[in-house]
Amino acid sequence: MINRQRLAETFMALVAIDSESREESGISDEIRQMLSPVAFEMHIDKAGEKVGGNTGNLIVKIQGNTKVPPLMLNAHMDTVTPGKGIRPRFENGVFTSDGTTVLGADDKSAVAVIIEVAQLLHENNLPHGPVELVFTICEEIGLMGAKNLDFGLISAKYGYALDTADTEVIVTRAPSANRMEFLVHGRDAHAGADPEKGINAILLASKAIAGLALGRIDHETTCNIGVIEGRGASNIVPNLVQIKGEARSHDDAKLETVTRNMAAAFEGAIADYKQIHGDGPLPRVDVHIENDFRRTHIPEDHPVVVLARQAAANLGRTLASKTTGGGADANVFFQKGIITGVIGTGMRDIHTVRESIRLDDMVKTAELLLEIIDLHSKGSHRS
């Protein structure tokens, strides 16, 4: 039933539209045009104004023809850089870019699949309940679209985000994450004439980082330092260095412990210096900690999982539950009471210029969604 040629053409058209984070208005306009024949309602919320973007989240509601609760489908409209001037290629069933940009399969493959499914529901008058399509902005820069979504426009209590690679899994567990910024303040001085008068902020930060356990802490927990930025010149003792990092865990108590340990390492480096050189206003460290997103944990008997697995079985496939270390819009929806499983579209090597996706995988995802919607229309939403 899937119109392979149309799906391919839709995807090619979408990826050719520039839509790096905060610049999604063009693709939002195209999605609205493609879905206008099937939409009952369309809304653009105020998220763009809150994040400095040129449009908000796009919510498209499709009226159901069966009396079941609404189902949500989600994809994000933005891409990472380099994502301008994408020139898609399609050879031997595989989409790629020309090698100078990302392809944008993350997440425009999901957008294309959702559009194809919506068109098929309309053209064939297939049985379906109300469907709420949520196309978010700024997912790639911290789930900012979802975090600022007008949830008053959403009535669904469960659904699916299409934002992972593997087409044979449903992500049911994802971690909580904290973002951290440490500003280490020292004292500047001429590095050749008066180094004794300086306090090297980079040296203090390096001692703190050297004392950290980074990477995988255990099977549930990771932490990372991703940015170290100092300012000045090589002949100046640096008086400021900025460090950015994160911690993630499926156990919130472990997340708190790792976060606290990371902060303590920087505070300890400052305390050690003062113990040797005497107390004073410098050096010091400013610690900023912010929760990025909360964990998800969907029970195996929840309708989101039951529906997806039964749909896969009806198609002669299996769908395994997966625990991931990444975050998605689904984390934000989960926190707002919308239980959201994450399913894959087949995207590969995302966030690189080698990104690719097979049309066959996109077709598989579209078939799965259609089967999920059909089961849902029959009341198979009940656990």
In this structure, what token pair is assigned to residue 95?
A: 């989409």
Where helices occur in 226-357 by DSSP H, the ranges are 252-277, 303-314, 329-335
Which residues, including other chains, have CB under 8 Å from residue 26's CB and lie 6 or more apart? 17, 18, 19
In this structure, what token pair is assigned to residue 73?
A: 């489908």
**Which residue among the candidates 23, 45, 107, 139 is catalytic per the annotation?**
139
Query: Do 366 and 344 touch, CB atoms closer than 8 A?
Result: no
Where helices occur in the chain by DSSP H, the ranges are 4-15, 25-35, 47-51, 105-123, 144-147, 201-210, 252-277, 303-314, 329-335, 359-377
**Cα(149)–Cα(59) distance, rounded to whole angstroms?**
10
In this structure, what token pair is assigned to residue 112?
A: 């294309």
Query: Residue 41: what are its φ and ψ, rounded to 5°?
Result: -140, 150
Identify whether 256 is a catalytic site residue: no
**Cα(260)–Cα(253) distance, rounded to whole angstroms?**
11
**Which residue among the candidates 20, 30, 78, 371 is catalytic per the annotation?**
78
In this structure, what token pair is assigned to residue 175?
A: 């971690």
Sign of CA dihedral 362, 367, 371, 373: positive
Identify whether 139 is a catalytic site residue: yes
Three-class DSSP category at 377:
helix
Report, as residue numbers or ranges, the catalytic residues. Answer: 78, 139
